[in-house]
RNA sequence: GGGCCCGUAGCUCAGUCUGGAUAGAGCGACGGCCUUCGGAGCCGUAGGUCGCGGGUUCGAAUCCCGCCGGGCCCGCCA
């Protein structure tokens, strides 16, 4: 539905008869997506350069430096062969052209030559082309065979942009059966793989919706009409429909949405394009309709859009659009739950550039580490222990990702993710197993709570543990209000540290009096309950043995 | 240029909204603890101008202003 999906579908439709989907479907399509994106972005720009080629020559040919000119002409002639073959030399050729015209630009600026702007544009295009070609080259090292197939198929395509636009129009209309099934085939297959992975780590979904249905069932139209009638839409010369946010800033509530107390030209947020000039919708447009769809019912108290921090502006625009379309009630219960992205040391993760680590890979590594740890403790590994390793691995990965405040950028670090010591998922699971182990020895026959003399729980560590256990409800409330699961992770870690400290120092079953033994048993049981509930909230499996 | 976020120990992070006493964890380093319920543990040591500079206050990591460093956004991509 989105343009990015259309890229994938476009390429898939071209090569589907030449290839087989191998391995996990989401991984395969993930690779194809990176390849498709890098090749399309490159080819589109190479086309542009091809078009600009003559004016390029003209600008440069305005004498002064004959040597530069000859050199440039040579490279451009090479470039004109684009379309017939692919070679990594493109990058070098373009870089050299770039060097020559940049040098040229220097001369021109000195002479106040008039075409500086045009040259700047060309330099920009070439820069981006080089960038994407470099991406493509790294992608094709990662997936050589598939990359070759894609490139050899796409290289003779012309007007890719137009074709993709057409593809989207047809899909959104819902009137083209083949195109419809193609899009949905791709999406379903990707989703299939994602669901499989998430299902393995205990994450399930109640419902999925097709974005395209929001267009076809006229919900997008409905909002658009409301906005149009209220005079919030402007149409530009190409026919794109734009939400007039600048005008809407006169309304105080809208300024509040953007966190502005006054409006000035400089700091005003930009208008939002809702409909492309080809008539198709954009992601944010569909998301406006989707927010309405989710939040229209009075039974719904809050609509949480959990999406990256980089979406802050579009999410504010979305909220403003709902308000302006007359759905203040829905706008008010809409929250953007923002989280920062995970980055690699040095480079940003980017699916579009083929720079990513799959969740499956991370789990696999964590699982190996877990098996290693299990082997340290018992010699032969049973099938059951493989399950155990998975539960531990999942606990480690989930905790690592969830225990950092959402607004903080997470720098990807294997050591932190595959940490099984304190302040980790496995540490919590281990502590839970220890507590369980005590109770198992008495067949979980916990003494009656109301006959206990709690006065005997009078050591500092016991008092602190009890005090913290009592805080559980307020911790949950706080985490919920702030949309901060890390608060629960931190809490679970804290009570576990306290429990371990207690465990090390004081015997439970062999306490010196019956009174103490019973009181401590009650405390262990309470701790176990609170930790189990915390782990459940975090989606980490409490383990009774490990 | 405009907007948002981050800056706390060598590293990864809590604590900032709602100001309060010697600023807390984990990792890493160093030193201890298995005749007792599971050592994936526990106890201890070293390590911090809370980015910098002003201001408000009896009191500032926390509130206000100004800088500096890093990230993100400002697309008819998502």
pLDDT one-digit tens code per residue, A352-408? 888 888 899 989 989 998 988 888 887 556 667 788 999 999 999 999 999 999 988
DSSP class per residue in A328-384: HHHHHTEEEEEEPPEE-SSSB-BGGGTB---HHHHHHHHHHHHHHHHHHH-SSPPHH
Helix, strand or coil, per DSSP, at residue A395 = helix
Nucleic strand B near CB of residue A426 (< 7 Å): yes
Among A64-68, A147-151, A350-354, A471-475, which stretch is predicted with the lowest mean pLDDT?
A64-68
* pLDDT at position A93: 67
Per DSSP, what are the bridge partners of residue A334?
A303
The residue that leads in pLDDT, A348 or A513, is A513
Which positions of chain B lie under 7 Å from any protein Cβ?
1-6, 12-15, 17, 25-28, 36-43, 71-78
pLDDT tens-place string over residues A424-449: 999 999 999 999 999 999 999 999 88
* pLDDT at position A86: 47
Nucleic strand B near CB of residue A261 (< 7 Å): no
Average pLDDT over residues A49-64: 63
Average pLDDT over residues A244-270: 88
Average pLDDT over residues A48-53: 73
* pLDDT at position A34: 93
The residue that leads in pLDDT, A96 or A217, is A217
Calculate what percentage of chain A has a pLDDT beyond 70.
86
* pLDDT at position A78: 58
Average pLDDT over residues A168-178: 92
Half-sphere exposure of A480 (CA within 13 A, CB side): 9
Would strands A241-243 and A233-235 be described as parallel, antiparallel, or unpaired? antiparallel
- What is the predicted ipTM? 0.94
CA distances from A373 to A191, A216, A388, A421, A500 (A): 33, 53, 11, 11, 20
Distance from CA(A159) to C1'(B66), angstroms, rounded:
52
| Rounded CA separation A281/A228 (Å) | 16
Q: Is the pLDDT of residue A343 over 60?
A: yes
Q: Tally helices (H) and strands (E) across chain A.
A: 23, 7
pLDDT tens-place string over residues A114-131: 555 666 677 777 778 888
Q: Which residue's structure tokens are 């980017």?
A: A350
* pLDDT at position A240: 95
CA distances from A80 to A54, A75, A84, A200, A304 (A): 11, 9, 9, 51, 51
User: What does the radius of gyration of chain A's CA atoms come to, in whole angstroms?
Assistant: 30
Distance from CA(A476) to C1'(B4), angstroms, rounded:
28
Q: Is the pLDDT of residue A17 over 80?
A: yes
* pLDDT at position A277: 94
| Rounded CA separation A546/A496 (Å) | 16
Q: Is the pLDDT of residue A494 over 80?
A: yes
Among A84-93, A269-278, A362-371, which stretch is predicted with the lowest mean pLDDT?
A84-93
* pLDDT at position A183: 94
Nucleic strand B near CB of residue A75 (< 7 Å): no
Nucleic strand B near CB of residue A138 (< 7 Å): no
Q: Is the pLDDT of residue A210 over 70?
A: yes
Cβ pair A281, A222 in contact under 8 A = no
Residue A84 confidence class, pLDDT cut points 50, 70, 90: very low
Average pLDDT over residues A165-186: 93
Exposure class string for A505-527: b at 16+ Cβ within 10 A, else e:
ebebeebeeeebbbbbbbbbbbb
Average pLDDT over residues A280-294: 96
Cα dihedral A495, A500, A506, A508 sign: positive
Going by C-beta distance under 8 Å and a sequence separation of 6 or more, which residues neighbour residue A87?
Answer: none
| Rounded CA separation A126/A128 (Å) | 5
Mean residue pLDDT of chain A comes to: 87
Nucleic strand B near CB of residue A236 (< 7 Å): yes
């Amino acid at each position: 539905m989105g343009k990015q999906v259309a890229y994938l579908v476009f390429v898939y439709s071209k090569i589907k008869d030449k290839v087989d989907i191998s391995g996990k479907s989401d991984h395969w399509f993930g690779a194809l997506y990176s390849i498709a994106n890098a090749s399309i972005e490159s080819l589109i720009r190479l086309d542009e350069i091809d078009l600009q080629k003559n004016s390029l020559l003209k600008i440069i040919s305005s004498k002064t430096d004959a040597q530069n000119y000859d050199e440039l002409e040579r490279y451009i002639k090479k470039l004109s062969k684009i379309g017939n073959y692919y070679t990594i030399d493109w990058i070098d050729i373009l870089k050299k052209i770039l060097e020559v015209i940049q040098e040229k630009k220097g001369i021109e600026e000195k002479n106040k030559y008039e075409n500086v702007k045009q040259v700047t544009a060309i330099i920009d295009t070439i820069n981006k082309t080089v960038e994407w070609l470099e991406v493509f080259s790294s992608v094709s090292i990662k997936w050589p065979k598939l990359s070759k197939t894609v490139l050899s198929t796409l290289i003779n395509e012309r007007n890719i942009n137009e074709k993709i636009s057409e593809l989207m129009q047809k899909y959104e209309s819902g009137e083209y059966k083949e195109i419809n099934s193609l899009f949905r085939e791709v999406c379903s297959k990707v989703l299939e793989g994602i669901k499989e992975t998430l299902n393995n780590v205990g994450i399930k979904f109640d419902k999925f919706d097709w974005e395209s249905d929001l267009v076809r069932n006229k919900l997008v139209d409905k909002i658009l009409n409301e906005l149009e009638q209220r005079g919030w839409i402007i149409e530009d010369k190409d026919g794109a429909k734009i939400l007039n946010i600048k005008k809407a800033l006169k309304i105080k509530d809208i300024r509040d949405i953007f966190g502005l107390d006054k409006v000035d030209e400089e700091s005003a947020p930009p208008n939002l394009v809702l409909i492309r000039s080809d008539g198709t919708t954009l992601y944010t447009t569909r998301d406006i309709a989707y927010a309405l769809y989710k939040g229209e019912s009075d039974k719904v108290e809050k609509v949480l859009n959990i999406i990256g921090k980089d979406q802050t502006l579009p999410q504010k625009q979305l909220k403003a659009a709902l308000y302006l379309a007359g759905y203040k009630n829905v706008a008010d219960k809409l929250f953007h739950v923002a989280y920062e992205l995970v980055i690699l040391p040095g480079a940003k993760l980017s699916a579009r550039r083929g720079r990513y680590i799959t969740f499956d890979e991370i789990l696999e590594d964590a699982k190996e580490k877990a098996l290693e740890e299990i082997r340290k403790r018992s010699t032969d590994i049973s099938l059951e222990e493989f399950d155990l390793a998975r539960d531990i691995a999942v606990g480690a990965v989930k905790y690592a990702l969830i225990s950092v405040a959402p607004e903080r950028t997470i720098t990807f670090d294997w050591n932190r993710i595959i940490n099984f010591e304190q302040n980790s998922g496995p540490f919590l699971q281990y502590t839970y197993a220890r507590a369980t182990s005590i109770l198992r020895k008495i067949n979980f026959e916990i003494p009656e709570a109301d006959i206990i003399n709690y006065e005997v729980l009078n050591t500092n560590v016991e008092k602190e543990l009890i005090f913290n256990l009592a805080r559980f409800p307020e911790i949950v409330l706080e985490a919920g209000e702030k949309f901060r699961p890390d608060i629960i992770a931190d809490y679970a870690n804290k009570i576990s540290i306290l429990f371990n400290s207690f465990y090390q120092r004081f015997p439970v079953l062999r306490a010196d009096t019956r009174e103490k033994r019973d009181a401590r048993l009650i405390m262990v049981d309470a701790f176990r309950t609170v930790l189990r509930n915390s782990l459940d909230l975090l989606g980490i499996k409490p383990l009774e043995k490990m």
